[in-house]
């Protein structure tokens, strides 16, 4: 969904930027967490654009 590498996804999970759940040896990221991540980043981008204007 995000078109990022597996390594980058693991980095986002371990840094706490996106929530994920460990299932066995791998992580799963529920779709709702992906949507939350995208919305949070969109809000941050919008605020940064307002500050630069």
Residue-level pLDDT at 45: 65
pLDDT, tens digit, 9 for 90 and up, residues 1-53: 788 898 999 999 999 999 999 999 999 999 999 999 988 887 766 656 666 66
Residue-level pLDDT at 11: 93
Strands (E), 1-53: 21-23, 26-28
Residue-level pLDDT at 28: 92
Q: Which two tokens stand for residue 18?
A: 């996106």
Q: Is 18 exposed, middle or buried (0-12, 13-18, 19+ CB in 10 A)?
A: buried
Render the burial of 25-53: b for 16+ CB within 10 Å, e for the rest: eebebeeeebeebeeeeeeeeeeeeeeee
């Amino acid at each position: 969904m995000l078109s990022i590498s597996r390594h980058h996804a693991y980095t986002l999970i371990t840094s706490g930027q996106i929530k994920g759940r460990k299932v066995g040896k791998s992580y799963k990221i529920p779709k709702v967490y992906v949507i939350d991540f995208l919305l949070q980043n969109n809000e941050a981008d919008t605020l940064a654009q307002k500050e630069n204007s």
